[in-house]
Structure 1
Amino acid sequence: MENKKIKHSALQVKDGVSPPEIISSSAAEHIKNLKKKQPSSAELISGILAGNITALSRAITLVESTNVSHLAKANEVINACLPHANNSVRIGITGVPGVGKSTFIEAFGKYLTGLGKKVAVLAVDPSSTISHGSILGDKTRMEELVKDTNAYIRPSASGETLGGVARKTREAITLCEACGFDTIIIETVGVGQSETAVHSMVDFFLLLKISGAGDELQGIKRGIMEMADAIVINKADGDNIKKANLAKTEFNRALHLFPAKKSGWTPTTSTCSAITHDGIDAVWETILKFLELTKNNGYFFEKRKEQNQYWMLETINEQLKLNFYNHPTLLKLLEENKKAVQNNEISPFAAAQLLLETYFKK
């Protein structure tokens, strides 16, 4: 019988070639172990004191953590860093969205690193509690500064309350100072109560404004004006220079209507352009004059003592609130009283008193 030729189909299934490993199994295991292993408090502390940015970032993440089990370790790191802190100037910068804060901070930060300063930029942004992100301290808007080896930018910590966000920022200041940063810039959004929180953690408070917005004196809170140690009119370039100078004159007149500051400092007004860098050096000169005056008359050191006391009390308030609202016995009772108050079955004050009495009995 004649052998029939076997016809091979063009469509055949053959064993494919096994793809090569992207990384070896041993390397993958090593990476997995690294992810699992968290640095000890001693490793974080030694890294921070040696100026290691990775250790600094990890420590800030640790103090920002809402995990109760991380609290003891975070406190250990903070306490070890305290003796190495307090050696910087802390500058608060506020201004409404659109005023050019990021551009200004980048220009100002680059000017300072050019003088040999080490600059850390932190943010207090309570709005991050909604988006779970930050609209401040945005590295993408500070492209030049983020490349600078003498600068460090940290976006806002997210939290459920402004108090919580601000407290974490206050602890981040301590860590940055211990890491060798001698100039700390705290940025805030310029709305809400965030200015008050920032004012309570900085030495110098700068209000950034622009001219031609139709609100040189209107739409700005009296409280923010009273807190400001200097008002800087940004975007004073091109056709806007004349308007900026007029705005400077108006703000200068307004500042003289406020009572004298305890610091003995008379707030100043100036113009600048974060684009052309005109006036950036004058802002730093103003801050240096303020520091010289307040250190000589002792106000600088007294204010820092008061701020430490303030943050102790704020932390107590914050922890009490967290403990109260997360108390297992109160959760059900709280919901019941909320409904009772809504239905006018009990007054808000009586309900609050009942809840507090229950809390303190536990």
Structure 2
Amino acid sequence: MIHARPLPPLDDLVNGVREGRRAMLARAITLVESRKAEHRALAEELMQAILPFTGQALRVGITGVPGVGKSTTIDALGAWLLEQGHRVAVLAVDPSSTRTGGSILGDKTRMARLSMDERAFVRPSPSAGTLGGVAARTRETMLLCEASGYDVVLVETVGVGQSETAVADMTDTFLVLMLPGAGDELQGIKKGIVELADIVAVNKAEGANAARAKAAAGEYRAALHVLGGREAHWSTPVLTYSGLTGEGIAELWTQVRLHRARAEAAGAFADKRSAQQVRWMWTLFDDRLRERLRSDPALRAELPDIERAVAGGTLAPTLAAARIARHFGW
């Protein structure tokens, strides 16, 4: 029988994270991901203790359709950043993990250069829980990585809609990757994904694909011009690059830095971070409420009847909500 290793004392965890010890960082992340009640108090103390050492990293969300080359792009971008003297953490928000128990980054060989470099830290998303819970724990992980000295945090998502919104709401710059000549240049905009984008980048702009990538970029620029910018201080640029050859990666990072500089100059950067913190608080609170719903035996027994009555039209949703709230003493 294999027994779990006992958790180290809080001071050891904090010091280990602050000293950049990867094994201790991994244990700290495992602690905040834990659903065990006995771990929660220690995790809360840990997050409070490391809070003064967070906030210095540049946080970048990255999304794109399947096959667009997110892993190749992150590997190329991360390797380039390491060459520039940065320390890079790669995290993931994967809503499919709540259904399959798998992970978007389970196979680190997809990011061969980063996974082999001590200056980089690649972490899969948790393997269970609601999207809100997964996103919340990814935020905690991001702060732990910042406290451990990683000055660039890349957050990857493969989901649609809600997962993109969750990642956009925890990062400074949201990067949307697109394919050239896929016949769906405007599809992302129709889904609303591109409307979240701070930067749009068309991948695979090499060889015979280069001309198609430029044409696709032109269509996106025209469409984004019609939509208008979502930030007064920033117009979403559309770039082409190659994750395979690395061409255009430096310009991509230049735009990420420029986006932050413009936000800081406009006074919007600090406001955005503050608003994200408050929304994060409410996300965690909502997560606690859902846990109470799942852990209350009496309510769990009553919920199926309540849902059937609401679905059958014999119980008004307002009254049903009041019956549920009574279990909390409200």
Instruction: String of CA shifts for 1:74-95, please: whole Å, max 9, x gaps.
Output: 0111111110000110000010
Q: Distance in 2 between matches of 1:197 and 1:281?
A: 27
Task: Tell me what 1:245 maps to.
Answer: 214
For residue 118 of structure 1, the aligned residue among 84, 87, 92 is 87
Structure 2 equivalent of residue 3 of structure 1: none
User: Equivalents in 2 of 1:190, 1:217: separation in Å?
Assistant: 18
Residue from 244, 252, 255 that aligns with 1:275 = 244
Aligned with 2:214: secondary structure? helix
What is the CA distance between 1:345 and its match in structure 2? Answer: 4.3
Describe the SS at the equivalent of 1:59. Answer: helix
Aligned residue number for residue 192 of structure 1: 161
- Once structures 1 and 2 are overlaid, which stretch shifts more, 48-57 or 325-334? 325-334
Q: Secondary structure at the match of 2:235?
A: coil
Partner of 1:257, secondary structure, is helix
Per-residue CA distance 1:5-28 (angstroms, 9 max, x = gap): xxxxxxxxxxxxxxxxxxxxxxxx
Following TM superposition, by how much is the alpha carbon of 1:321 offset from its aligned partner in structure 2, in angstroms? 1.9
1:175-254 correspondence runs (5 A) = 175-254=144-223
Q: Decide which of 103, 106, 109 is 1:134's aligned counterpart.
A: 103
Deviation track 1:238-269 (CA, whole Å, cap 9, x = no partner) reads 11111000000000111111233335111100
2:29 matches 1:63: no
What is the alpha-carbon distance in structure 2 between the residues aligned to residue 352 and residue 34 of structure 1? 43
Residue 106 (structure 1) aligned to one of 49, 52, 75: 75
Q: Deviations over 1:163-208 (max 9, x none)?
A: 1000000011110000000000000114131011011110111000
Which residue of structure 2 aligns with residue 147 of structure 1?
A: 116
Matched-pair contact (CA < 8 Å) for 1:96–1:189: yes
Instruction: Determine helix, strand or coil for the equivalent of 1:91.
Output: strand
Distance 1:342 1:256 in 2: 44
Distance 2:308 2:65 in 1: 38
Partners of 1:352 and 1:286 lie apart in 2 by 47
| Conserved? CA contact 2:62–2:176, under 8 Å | yes
For the aligned residues, what is the CA RMSD?
A: 1.9
Residue 320 of structure 1: which of 289, 310, 319 is its match?
289
- Distance in 2 of aligned mates of 1:137 and 1:287: 27
1:172 aligned to which of 141, 148, 152: 141
Structure-2 separation of matches of 1:59 and 1:205: 27
Aligned partner of residue 125 in structure 2, secondary structure: coil
Give the distance between the partners of 2:292 and 2:275, measured in 1 at CA. 26
From 90, 93, 98, the equivalent of 2:59 is: 90
| TM superposition shift of 1:219 | 4.9
Contact 1:136 1:187 in 2 (8 A): no
Residue type at the aligned position of 1:257: V
Match of 1:359 in 2: 327
Stretch of structure 1 that moved more, 164-173 or 310-319: 310-319
Alignment of structure 1 residues 280-359 onto 2, 5 Å: 280-341=249-310, 344-356=313-325, 358-359=326-327
Q: What is the CA distance between 1:293 and its match in structure 2?
A: 1.4
SS of structure 2 residue aligned to 1:214: coil
Scaled by the length of structure 1, the TM-score of the pair is 0.86
Q: Structure 2 CA distance, aligned partners of 1:264 and 1:244? A: 27
1:200 counterpart letter in structure 2: D
What amino acid is the match of 2:81? L
Q: How far did residue 328 of structure 1 move?
A: 2.3
TM, length-normalised to structure 2: 0.95
User: AA paired with 1:189?
Assistant: V
Task: Give CA deviations for 1:274-332 in whole Å, capped at 9, x if unaligned.
Answer: 11111111101111211221112211111101111111111111211221232122121
Residues 36 and 110 (structure 1 numbering): CA distance in 2 closer, same or farther, change over 3 Å? closer
Q: Given the alignment of the two structures, is residue 41 of structure 1 paired with residue 10 of structure 2, yes or no? A: yes
Contact 1:123/1:137 (8 A) holds in 2: no
Stretches of 4+ aligned residues off by more than 6 angstroms: none
Are residues 137 and 108 of structure 1, via their aligned partners in 2, closer, same or farther at CA, if it must alter by over 3 Å? Answer: farther
State the one-letter code of the partner of 2:307.
K
Distance 1:107 1:309, change over 3 A: same
Change in CA separation of 1:33 and 1:197 when aligned onto 2, cut-off 3 Å:
closer
**Count of residues paired in the alignment:** 330
The one-letter code of the counterpart of 2:328 is F
Counterpart Cα distance in 1 of 2:245 and 2:77: 12
What is the deviation of 1:237?
A: 1.1
Which AA in structure 2 matches 1:360? F
Q: Which consecutive residues of structure 2, in runs of 5 or more, have no partner in the other structure? A: none
Match of 1:5 in 2: none
Cα distance in 1 for residues equivalent to 2:148 and 2:129: 28
Q: Secondary structure at the match of 1:206?
A: strand
1:341 Cα deviation from its structure 2 partner:
4.1
Q: Which runs of 5+ in 1 are unaligned?
A: 1-31
Contact persistence 1:122–1:137 (CA under 8 A): no
